[in-house]
Structure 1
Amino acid sequence: MSSKRSSVLAVNFSAATTSSPSDGNLGTCNEPSPSEFEELLQCMICFESFNDPKILNCAHTFCAKCLDDYHATYATQKRAVSGNIPCPTCRELTPWPENGVEGLRRDFKIYQIEELLKNMSVLSQSNSGQSLNVCNYCNALDKKVQAKNYCFNCEKSYCTPCMGKHSKNQLFNNHKVISLPTKNSSDFPCKYHPNEIIKYFCKSCDTVACTLCLLDQHNNHNAIEIKQMINEQLSDINFLMAGVNEKKDELMKELEILEPITKNCSKSIDEAEKLIRSRSETIIREVKNKEIVMLKTLDNIKNSKLKHLEKEIDRIKFNLNKLKGIESMMKNSTMTPSKSLRTYDLLIQRMRTILDVDSQLDVNNLSQNSIFVKFKPGSEEFNFGNLDEKRFSNTAQQSQLNQTPASYPELRSRSKTQPNLELNDPKYLKPCLKRSISKDENRAKLNFEILVHGSKSGELNKPLWVASLLEYKFVVSDGGNKRLQIFDQLGKSVNVILAKSLEPLGIAVTMKNNIITADTDQKRIQVFSPDGKSISKWGLGKFFNPCGVAVCPNGSIIVSDVGDNSVSVYKNENTCVFRLGISAQPELQFKEPFYVASGQNNEIIVSDSKNHCVKIFDSGGQFVAKIGSEGSKDGEFKSPRGVCTSVEGYIIVADQENNRVTMLTREGSFVKHLLTSADGIKSPQGVCLTRKKKLAVTEFDPPKYSTLKVFDVTI
């Protein structure tokens, strides 16, 4: 039995053996409840009470059948070290006996603890004045008689007369009976010698004992009086409590420092948001006013210049028609001496009338009215404005941050570099007259983005995973809101999937277009249809903290578990084909494998976050390659997160702390950065790529930066 169990057992036993205030601060010690002991009596494989408990060399105990099945799984996978079995809890190797699980030592201490718990439960109820102080037989006859004995087989309390009847019945000859202590008694009878009181604790066997036990099965063992052991343990507890209180004071001090900084940062963000909205309204209003002025000017041009030109055209056409009429008259008339005298004067008069008309255009007037109107868009685009960050400058609080306890260097380092955004000052929202536009045709183009942090439909909170459905929809693991949310290709929320106690992390889409998610709250896998209908739930008891999921082309399901830093491949809901990350070789181990993906040939691709690399295994679980190391150069990573593949076989990785999304060949060679901070990428988390080359990226930067962005990219 572990030292943790023995210490807890001794502290709990103190309440059953002592009740006097004279025992120091013993009476103020919080006693573990029986339910806490029962947790120690559960197999960590099946999470049920032990059935034939077997103990390994590392002192961890499991059910015999659970260990046998566990070893059989390893033998089938041919991944276990020859002749050994790794502990499911700590991975320490234990030689596997030739006769199988029966050859492992039986953990008799489990039986002793169970029996002791039963005794303690009975006596605890008796001392608390509960139903055990009443004879059950008499109570059935509506008589209240104090019980003097308790039978463990019958699980009944008896008074002295009823106990006499019990003893005379031959069927009850082998029943185990103890005498109940009187109320407020601190004596605790030995289960092997009911007439003896437990006074000692055997350190060799890690159990309590009476005087006769010390002379019998615990003879010459290392034993001390229970009160002495309790005093020793209380001394240790009090010493640790002093450290706990000191640590508590340190944390409270850090909290006092960080809370006002966070408050000021949040206030500056809110004020900056107001200024941004005001700036937007002002620009829109100015653009509308400019539109009205320009259209009015254009209308004036139309009314003045264009109408004058049209009037000149009408005048010229009128005179031209007169000339054509005279020409026609001359062609059709027959000149005789009598007619010529009559028509001569008329023709001459008409011709002179027309010739006297001024047919020349006014050149000056024409130059003023003959214009060509063209709208020329401005060559310089007006930028909305910039957000500038200003570092924290309060010297008093900066001095406090420097006094952060040395035991928290990481926190102190973060505090020194935490910027204090003073965006409420208008000078940090200055307009820019010129904006450089990249001429790179391969640059990613933003389709849409969801920027609102919140809990309403269309808003996000901690969106760590994203996957693509058919019809080019995107499903997002909206972890902070404990739901799945589906967006169409225009960024509109079209469905929200909620389920009882659902806390989704990793998500993937099956061949049937169903959504599979890792439910970290229930420690299992759940499957939903796109309309939110629950299809199946499985894996309960198989995971510590399931995180990432992926679906292989052959239908297998990959599940990463950050609880024990492993990755499992399931053929179906009940069959685990093999498990990665439990090898003794460091290069085959993981540290926080949050995200997983599958290649075209059913390869397993693992984003090994804290090892700052990506690891690839073939479809049989054999190690293929390790890609990258910690750094910011091309091909290097800092806490890589989401990973996916393209139809061409490229591997796409969200490089969180480098604020970029990187593309690699299937062999691991660096190709290019698909997205960087220049594209507005900040702390990328999940990634997925559709067949139409739309790259979806989720971003999360606590406390309130939660986004979904979809880009058109060139692969």
Structure 2
Amino acid sequence: MASEQLDTLLVDDIEHTSSRPIIDENVLECAICEGRLNNPKYLSCYHTFCLKCLEDWVNRNSELLSCPTCSKSCSIPEEGLQGLPPNTSLANLLETIEQFTNADQMKCVCGKEGKSENYCQDCRQFLCLNCSGHHKNIRSCKNHKLQPLEDVRSMSVKDIIATYPPLCSIHNEPLSSFCKICNIPICFHCSITNHKEWEGIEKHTPLVNLSDEFKALKEASTELEKLANQCIEKMKDKVVLDLHKKLEENKAKSLKDIDNHVEELTVRIKESGETFKREVEKIYNKKMKDFQIVEQAAALSDINTYMCLLHHLQESDGAAAISTGQSIIRALGNTIKEAPTTMPEDNNVEITFVKNKKQIVSLQEDIGMVIQTSEAAVSLELDVLKCVTTDQVIEVKIVKTAECHLNENDLEVTWTQPSGEINTDQIEEDKGDYYIVRRKCKTAGVCQIDARVNGKPIKKSPMTIQVEKSGLIQTVRMPGNSDSTFIDVVKDKHESLLVSCQSNAIHKYKQSGGYVGKIVLPSDVKVNRLFKMKNGNIAFTDCGKTESIKICTMGGEIVKSVGENKVNGLCGIHVDEETHIVYVCNGKCIIMFNIESGETISKQNVKGYDLVLTRQKNILILNNDGIHLLNDKGQSSKVIIGSGSGDSRVKNPNGVEVDDNDNIIVASKNKLQLFSKSGEFIKRIDNNLEFFEKQPVYLKMSSFGGGLSLGTVVSPAVVVSQCSQPRGLSIISTYPRRVALLNGNTVQIFNY
């Protein structure tokens, strides 16, 4: 209905430009009760309602008065809702319409039974034929205009308004003035008397002539009418009509989606009900079979039948009884013998349907939600990483905080690169709970990401992300004596670097370079290669008195020891915490142990100095021939990165890692390289940095971790000779992508 009215208003020609519009009879109705106004009162927003309806409205809304039409808050006069100003014009109009509507029932003013024939426009009285004649003869009424009752009955609302202007509701006299304080028209008597009984205001001046005020009103109305026509013309615009059409389509689609959703739920509930019923029947039939109920019923029936026959034979003559009695007796005996009289072991006859109370509670909640298209932006939230490196893929998540459906062109993500370049992307992937948009930044700096739905920003948009340069960003120097041999490096949960040096201590350094302290282990332990476990403990290969794999806490307590004296020269280690398998190598073979039981699972004769597990549980192991890929059993070896001195080749590799994207990172002589999971060369992480050409001069230490002695200066050449190639390698961050490389007596941190 509302749609049809809107179409009419927007499309049809409006022919009231040159003539005054006819009053809409809806104006005479109360928007609360939807009936004709009764004792009409208007609010400060000029909307009019029945007094009784307003009283009920206030009672339902905690004694607060807000307009039922426009929701504007209105104050209640001290004397209550009775003190609200009356809509005098509508009250008079309603009274007149009421009179004319019931014109057939109106009696003559004389009070006799005569039928009314005319209506005096000036006296506003119905007159019979006799009184109409006398009325014309009275001097004061001689010029009064009498209208036949037939004409009165055929008058429209417009004719009534034009013919019968409203009268004062108190004195029943023509309105002549306008009180600007009360904002109502008044008669002559009102202008010289106090009318605070309905207004509550003592001072009512200034008063103005009603005709002057009406003239000003007409001038204002004429100007407003022009603006209204302009507004109507704009509303006729095709854009508005298209919006209306789209709104109707979306409404129809939403209603259809609701019906489909309810139907789907109903079907699923019915299917579940049928499944439960079949389960009940299945249990029932099984119990019937187990209890031999059918057999018992049949045996009982047979016994009763034979008993009846025997009784009948006993009452018949002997000859007849003897001829059939023996067979009946045998049959009854066999039935009694074969009848199932033992109770079943399982005598449980309970079959109970247990309600899913959680499901009932969930059904009491909303089965969905209805949102406006413009609210889609409110239903989404931007989630971006805080920091990445150049050329690292930035994965932006558009999280769905509420259910919403977008067309692929509704959501737009704008990237303002550190270089100032602006790029625009749309939804790349829908993960169900969130959308994904991806892009790289090629230059370091701050990148701004702004996500919008139909031009409206979503929650937390825009956001910025720091893009760091790739390459060497930090060097942590570890002063030590000539006997110090640094082996491996990992990161702990506090972001500190843990460094092993084939002693009973694991040293801790800040990534910024400061020395933190050390983890002291039993004196017969020599920590070689390290693996950081998810629970915070450290797994390591022990090359001390009893060569083995050990696990210690951050406090230095040994909590597990596996494979003692089973393998010599242990070096590389990796723990698969999901399967509880620890993989180690010693340059000659790969050994797998169950870390819980200590049992040896497998031993494969494959040379290797370090190893790592891929996300697919394959083994990568490095030796002088390059990088080998094996299955999780250590078999089916193939070289995926060959040996050599150039880029894309490795020479004397000594450290390997796999990142979250399955990229392979290899540290070899004078090189740190990045490869794809299939072994394809991607880039040099070290940017061709010559590791050993610019080593600084160090002071020789009297003891590791101690203070400087008054010893000699160690030359760069000596440093170079002590560390001919890098050793330990560890990924220490995913965002930004960051790796730590143990190189001689330094830990170099690279972004890649």
Relative to the length of structure 1, the TM-score reads: 0.33
Point out the structure with the larger helix share: 1
Point out the structure with the larger strand share: 2
